[in-house]
Amino acid sequence: MSYGDPNNPYGPPQGQQPPAAPGYGYPQAPPPGVPPQQGYGYPQQPAYPGYPGGNMMQQSMPGLLVTARVFLFLISAVQILGAIGFLYGAAVANDVSDSADDLGFSSSSDFGDAATGLFVVFALVAAAFAALSITLGVKFSRGGQGVRITTVIYGALGGVVGLIYLFVGLDTGFATAIIGPLIWVVFAVIITLAPVVPSGTAWFNRPRY
């Protein structure tokens, strides 16, 4: 017997044809109640977007933080030059002290020794601040709350020092005594505000894997 035989009692009712089998390579419909599966060769989507190792786009550093980072590096360069200048002053003071000692001027020799020590202390302080400025600038890319808080305090203290020098320059009345402290205050304000604004706070609070 065959399904084409009209007298076949086991065949389909008259007027109906058996369902055609799907062709090879075509997706088959799932049974009722079963969710459809993605076809072979199609990209699989992660169940949880942003999971570690997933294709999550890297967040970029906000522009204000980039500016503050550049200012930190510029300040460190000035501090390094200051440290070198203080070391040179210490060397000059030491030579003056040695010359005065050779000539028998003990008081001048003592003054030269004290000036040498003072210049060396200033050089070490400038070098320490330069190291701190460079470290904060480098840590902006991976640092957390510790770097953020340290940067805010550092920038605020620098702003206070800059304001003191600015007021002294205003009292002198010379424009050259105002430009340097004014630039320093502007740098300090940007360095202080960059980690505090919402974009900076979000950057330092971002998840790290």
Contact 45, 180 (CB under 8 A): no
CA–CA distance, 72 with 130 (Å, rounded to integer): 9
Q: From CA 133, how far away is CA 188, in angstroms rounded? A: 12
162 touches 184 (CB < 8 A): yes
**Per-residue confidence (pLDDT) for residue 57, from 0 to 100:** 44
How far is residue 81's CA from residue 190's CA, in Å, rounded to a whole number?
A: 22
Residue 142 burial (C-beta neighbours within 10 Å; 0-12, 13-18, 19+)? exposed
Among candidates 203, 187, 180, which has minimal Cα distance to 155? 187
**pLDDT for residue 109:** 65
Compute how many other C-beta atoms are within 10 angstroms of the C-beta atom of residue 124: 13
The rounded Cα 31 to chain-centroid distance in angstroms is 53
pLDDT digits (tens), the chain, 209 positions: 455 555 655 555 555 555 555 555 555 555 555 555 554 444 444 443 444 444 444 478 899 999 999 999 999 999 999 999 999 999 988 888 777 666 665 666 677 778 888 999 999 999 999 999 999 999 998 888 899 999 999 999 999 999 999 998 888 877 778 888 899 999 999 999 999 999 999 999 888 76
pLDDT at 176: 78
pTM over 0.85, yes/no: no
Residue 48 is predicted with a pLDDT of: 38
Rounded to whole angstroms, the Cα distance separating 66 from 131 reads: 19
